[in-house]
Amino acid sequence: MNHVGAIGIIIISPYPSKFQNVKLASTSIGYGYSSMKGGVGVRLKYYPEGKYGTEYTEFSFASIHLNAFEGDRYYLQRNANMLNIIRSLDFGDGYGLIKPDNHIFIFGDLNYRTTKDYKPTSVVARNLLTLADQHTEVDKEYIHQLFVQYDELHKALKEGDVLLGFSEGRIDFQPSYKYHINTGIYNSKRCPSWCDRILFLSTYEDIGNDNLGLRLLRTNKKDGQNRKDSLPVIEEYNAINSLLTSDHRPVYARISVPFNPPKSIISPMSGCLEIVSTGLTSREGFSDYDQLDRIDVNNIIESGPTTIYLKPTKLDFLIHRLVTPTVDGVVGYGLWLGTTNEGRMALVILILFTLAWWYIW
């Protein structure tokens, strides 16, 4: 378990002895680098043959909460903050969230929206607000069409504006935000949006016949089965509409991943983001997830490093160790003094004590 502010992550497994070398990280990107927004991470090694095994694969998870609101300004800020979080999550091994030979997952309230300038009477608002009444299987394709048409993050992934190399499953469930609490009714103060997401690094390749992962796979005589089992499978991606205690609906995913990790997207020389000519395509058994079609052009994309640095910096360390605790302390005590009975009483006593001291001296 790890948390910063109200952002948390919990790892649960029925096989704890198979997971070793657990590392934690956190970072804050709220106002003044406060913990009102930011991310937390967990990195661990999985030994499929138990803790005494010699072969392992490594996983990195990040739970992220980005800034809210519609508009280009906030959209660009989300993209920038996503990069800052990925870089500044310092696990103490010289890497941020992106590390070679890792299965990497990003999830949380990413706050990407469906409109730049929200008006309750607009076409996009009317189309999305009516989805609260869509409950049958027939409506899933219509929901997916609206998602493709309006969702900011879907467009950003296709255009390479953010999370290059990452993908997600097909979204055909209703927008997860914003509901009136304890109801299934959208709050028209905000345009319904798919704010809550789960993404994974999707630069997987085929595995060789002498790999441990292949030996652990289920036996299947069909041609091409080994190749399919060397790629991740999104078993389920959906929202939990029965939980009504928030203005969000929680989202979950069930994903099977191969033993072999995806191809690294960080340059070993410069520590910068690297464009790699590999990844999932619809022709590799993922025709149901057309978000992955954007990688079909890999055969004409130049590979190589960019100038986007992905390792934690000394400035990130100073902000995490000095700035964030100071700002959190000021904000926390300020809220305690101003919003609680105990805090107000303490403030009154402090003022009276100060006046008495000033009067006496």
Q: How many domains does the chain divide into?
A: 2
Phi and psi for 106 in degrees, rounded to 5? Answer: -125, 130
Per residue in 302-359, pLDDT (tens digit) is: 677 899 999 999 999 999 999 999 999 999 999 999 999 999 999 999 999 999 998 8
**Nearest-angstrom CA–CA distance, 222 and 163:** 35
Is 317 within a domain? no
Is 156 within a domain? yes
With 60 as the cut, is the pLDDT of residue 30 above it?
A: yes
**Nearest-angstrom CA–CA distance, 266 and 87:** 11
Residues 6+ apart with CB under 8 A from 241: 174, 184, 249
Is 328 within a domain? yes
**What letter does residue 297 receive in the DSSP assignment?**
G
287 in the same domain as 332: no
Is 93 within a domain? yes
What is the domain-level CATH number for residue 229?
Answer: 3.60.10.10
pLDDT value of residue 268 = 86
Per residue in 200-239, pLDDT (tens digit) is: 999 987 655 444 544 444 444 444 444 445 678 999 999 9
Looking at the chain, the whole-number percentage of residues with pLDDT higher than 90 is 75
Last residue of a domain, one of 292, 312, 332: 312
345 in the same domain as 306: no
183 in the same domain as 141: yes
353 in the same domain as 237: no
Per residue in 121-175, pLDDT (tens digit) is: 999 999 999 888 655 555 889 999 999 999 999 999 999 999 999 999 999 999 9
Is 318 within a domain? no
**Nearest-angstrom CA–CA distance, 144 and 140:** 6
328 in the same domain as 210: no
pLDDT value of residue 87 = 98
pLDDT value of residue 281 = 42
Structure tokens at 344: 């107000």
Is 269 within a domain? yes
Is 38 in contact with 28 (CB distance < 8 Å)? yes
70 in the same domain as 182: yes
The alpha helices in 160-275, defined as continuous H runs, are 212-216, 225-229
With 70 as the cut, is the pLDDT of residue 279 above it?
A: no
Is 63 within a domain? yes
Judged by DSSP in three states, 356 sits in helix
> If you average pLDDT over every residue of the chain, what do you get?
87
**Nearest-angstrom CA–CA distance, 163 and 76:** 13
169 in the same domain as 98: yes
331 in the same domain as 214: no
Is 191 within a domain? yes
194 in the same domain as 87: yes
184 in the same domain as 68: yes
Structure tokens at 252: 């979950």
Q: Establish whether the linkage from the previous residue to 222 is cis, with ω within 30° of 0.
A: no
pLDDT value of residue 205 = 79
Per residue in 182-204, pLDDT (tens digit) is: 999 999 999 999 999 999 999 98
Structure tokens at 8: 């948390």
pLDDT value of residue 286 = 42
151 in the same domain as 70: yes
237: containing domain? 2-312
Amino acid, single-letter form, for residue 245 = T
342 in the same domain as 267: no
In the block, which residue shows the tokens 């509409």? 241
CA nearest to 157, candidates 117, 201, 95: 201
First to last CA, the chain: 52
Least confident segment among 66-80, 107-121, 279-293, 306-320: 279-293
pLDDT value of residue 5 = 87
